[in-house]
Structures are given as structure tokens and as C-alpha cells.
Amino acid sequence: MSKPIVAVVGRPNVGKSTLFNRIAKKSVSIVEDIPGVTRDRLYMDAEWLGREFTLIDTGGIELETTDKMLSLVRHQAQLAIDEADVILFIVDGKAGLTSADEEIATVLRNTRKPVILAANKIDSQKNVHDVYEFYNLGLGEPIAISAVNMMNLGDLLDQVIDKLPKFDSESNNEDEIKVAVIGRPNVGKSSLVNALIGEERSIVSDIAGTTRDAIDTKIFKDGMYYIFIDTAGMRRKAKIDLPVERYSVIRSLRAVDRADIVLLVLDAVDGVTEQDKKIAGYAHEAGKGCIIIVNKWDLIDKDSKTTLRYTENIRGELAFMQYAPVLYISALTKQRVHRVTELVNYVAEQHAMRIATNVLNQLVTDAVNINPPPSEKGKRLKVLYVTQANIKPPTFVFFVNDPEIMHFSYLRYLENKLREAFGFEGTPLHLVLRGRKEEE
């Protein structure tokens, strides 16, 4: 059984994201004094008095609009309302009742779902009387809160958990694979996530920069739980002009940090760009399992050797990521999209692989006998012992007589032997040197 869902809805700039962050106890949603900053649905698990629930932040609802982006935002908010068990309707207590509030209230009353009405921006008790006019919405007694000052948030959450359906937390302990979907703007990251989960979870538009937050989506597929994290497109620094977009890039990098596996999405038409290399480099340095996804493959004219040429080019441009499998897809037509989760499962296993110490030492001994290390300044390197210290990524500690005479090319030789023997496809390997007298 999934956790009950609470959707935070309201017109733009009433403080939904600030409240979302306060309840989630994390700075998850971007907060700026600009209407329309939140566009997609954002999910975060929250807890109050031992009751767990999933909170959804939504973009500001504008029912009467011809703007394409605002229409998409409204659609996302409607999906959140449909999905929710309890709806938290936020109004601006300082600005007072508006016609937009009345229109949204009409929509919410028709859902026949529990609705909690919260008048935000009531910063002191002496302003509490400002909420009385919101009785006119016909949604029951409004509760005066201040998301910024956290006034009455406890009372608000008491009402939320009182209306939640029951949830058994013990049934939600299955293993999860966290997958961050990263890349430049407009390469098709959100389209890929939507194709994977089978619904329009993220807003898709040909406007670069549509996705601004890192958006978590949990799905259950073929006996496994996945959390797909759709991230904002990462542009070059010179292209970033709004503060809100700088925050988005930071969120994308943090998404990589908390992921197990990274899907690096490339545009088949553009090929590998300098920015793609930088994004890939961050995932590589973070030690994440990586799969290279070449999207928009349906737009390429092909012959019998097209895939081979593209792969060779990718290997040449991303020389430090030779270990990453390459998958050619079309998120639009869903060509080979089903193979993404298969590869994620495989790379996750490789990323978490642990090798027995005796097997490791036998392999390294054989590798050294076949190709002895060269001498340096009359001194020959001796590999005394090797052990695996960690997983995710697999980390190996080599104890040698003198780390300073280990040439990088010989260390690469040993890494290649490890890969030949055990695979480790899709995952970087960390090789650490220790001198004879150094402690492990």
C-alpha cells in the first residue's frame, strides 16, 4: 500500500512552495517572489506525529489563461488533485479573497475530497481576523498560518493527519534504485521520464528550461521500486542569468549526489557537446553508475553502420567514461525505452558488486606475473595485497611497497584486468594506493 498523498494547491505566489519546504523540512521547492516559479509536481515524503504521507507541491493554478506554459502548469496541478487523498488549499490572507480563489474552490468542492483551507501570510495573531472572509469559499473553517514564521503549522498538520487514510509503513520497505536523469536543456529528459512511468509526470515543452526543480517520481515495475529524478537542464555558466535557474543547476547536481544510477541524456542530432562532457564528468567524479542515453534517434537517417559510428564518436568524446553502456532511444515514439529499466537493474548490480579478497589477490597476482610493473629509478614496484574497501562505486585498495613509483598506465592496466574478469559495466572504479607502512 502506498503512502497517502497530500496535494498543496492554490493560485500563484500564495506561498505554497514555502509551506511545502517547511513541512518537508528541506529546501526542496525553489522559492522566489516571482509567480510561476514552480511548474511541475514535486513529491516529498513527510511525517507528523508518527504519521507518514507524501506531499505534492504544484504550480500556481490560473484557470482563465491562454498562455501555453500556464495551461501545462494547470494540467499538472489537476493531476496532483486527482492523485491526492487530502487537498491543502492555500490562499493569501494578506491579499484577501480573490475571484481566482473562488474559481479554484469551485473545482475543489467538485472533487468531493477532504480539503483543508489555509490562509497564509498571517504573520501575527492580531491579523487572524483577516481570514474570516475566506468562509465565503464554502470549504469550512480557514486556518490562519504563516509558512515563513511557521505560525500554526502544527495545528495545520494536526488537521492533515486527521483526514489521512490509514497507511502501513512496514509495507513500504522494499529496496529502491534512485535514478537521476541529467543532461543539457531540451534533450528530452522529461519526455523520457514520462515515457518510463507511462504518464505526463513532468511538463514537456520545446521551451528550454521548462523543468526547474529536481522532481522525484516513485514507480513499481517488474518487482522493483525505482525513484526517477527528473532534473533541470544544466547550461553553461555564461548562459545562466536568472537566480532561479542557478538554483535549478544546484538542485540537479544534488540529484546526482543522492542517486545510485545516472542516465546521461544526449541529443542524437547535436552529438556530444562540451557541456555534455562537463555534465558527464560530474557524474563520473561522483562515482555514480552511468548509462548514456542517446535520445531523438528517430530523427537520424541511418544505414548499417550508423550506430557503430555514433558509438565510436561517443567513446572518443567521453574517453573517461568507456565503461558506460550506450542506449539509442526515442522518448517520443518510445523506441527501446523499455530497455532503460533493464539496463538500470544491470548497472545497479554492477555498481554494488563485491569481490572476495582471495579472488582479487589471485587475479592481481596473475596480472602482475603476465605483465610485471616497470622499474622506476632502479626500484621495482611490488603489489603486496589488494582488498575491496567499498561498493557504490566499487573501491579497491592496493597495498604496494612504494606508491610513488606506481605509474598511472600500470594502474589503468590493473583496472582493465578487473573489468575483464568481473565486468563492472556502467560503474567507475576507484583504485586507492597505500604504502607498505600505511594503515588501511
- Please report the pLDDT score of residue 248 as a whole number: 44
pLDDT higher at 38 or 67: 67
Q: What is the arithmetic mean of pLDDT over 379-383?
A: 89
Please give the single-letter amino acid code of residue 99: S
In this predicted structure, which of 85-94, 167-176, 220-229, 269-278 has the lowest mean pLDDT? Answer: 167-176
List, as one string, the DSSP characters of 155-219.
Answer: HHHHHHHHHPPP--GGGG---EEEEEEE-STTSSHHHHHHHHHTS--S---SSTT---S-EEEEE
φ, ψ for residue 42, nearest 5 deg: -115, 135
Flag whether pLDDT at 40 surpasses 60: no
Q: For the whole prediction, is pTM greater than 0.85?
A: no
Q: Return d(Cα 276, Cα 279) in angstroms, integer.
A: 5
3-state helix, strand, coil in the chain (%, to 5): 40, 20, 40
* pLDDT-derived band at 252, boundaries 50, 70, 90: low
Sheet holding 115-120, edge to edge: 42-48, 51-57, 5-9, 86-92, 115-120, 143-144
Inform me whether the pLDDT recorded for 34 exceeds 50: no
pLDDT at position 279 is: 86
Closest CA to 288 of 129, 365, 178: 178
The predicted structure's pLDDT at residue 2? 55
pLDDT at 80 over 60: yes
| C-alpha to C-alpha distances, 51 to 160, 171, 172, 272, nearest whole angstrom | 10, 14, 14, 47
In contact, 243 and 32? CB cutoff 8 Å: yes
Closest-CA residue to 265 (of 305, 240, 222, 234): 234
User: pLDDT value at position 234?
Assistant: 54
Residue pair 418/398 in contact (Cβ under 8 Å)? The answer is: no
Question: Is the pLDDT confidence value at 202 over 90?
Answer: no
Q: Please tell me the predicted confidence (pLDDT) of residue 337.
A: 95
DSSP letters of 323-360?
A: TS-EEE-BTTTTBTTHHHHHHHHHHHHHHT----HHHH
pLDDT of residue 89: 94
- Residue 205: pLDDT above 60? no
User: What is the residue type of 130?
Assistant: D
**pLDDT score for 418:** 97
Return the pLDDT at 46.
86
Examine the pLDDT at 154 and tell me if it is beyond 70: yes
pLDDT digits (tens, 9 = 90+) for 277-311: 988 998 999 999 999 999 999 999 999 999 999 99
Tell me: pLDDT of 119 over 90. Answer: yes
For the chain, the average pLDDT equals 83
Residue 64's pLDDT is 62
Q: CB-based contacts of 362: which residues, under 8 Å, 6+ apart?
A: none
The span from the CA of 320 to the CA of 413, in Å, is: 14
Which pLDDT score is estimated for 59? 75
CB 381 within 8 A of CB 409: no
Residue count of the chain? 440
Digit-coded pLDDT (tens) for 211-248: 444 467 788 888 888 988 877 655 444 443 434 334 44
pLDDT, tens digit (0-9, with 9 covering 90-100), for 2-20? 578 898 988 888 988 889 9
User: 341 pLDDT band (50/70/90 cuts)?
Assistant: very high
**6 or 171, greater pLDDT:** 6
Per-residue confidence (pLDDT) for residue 245, from 0 to 100 = 36
Give the strand order in the sheet containing 395-400: 383-390, 395-400, 430-434
Q: If you average pLDDT over residues 161-171, what whole number do you get?
A: 69
Over residues 132-142, mean pLDDT: 92
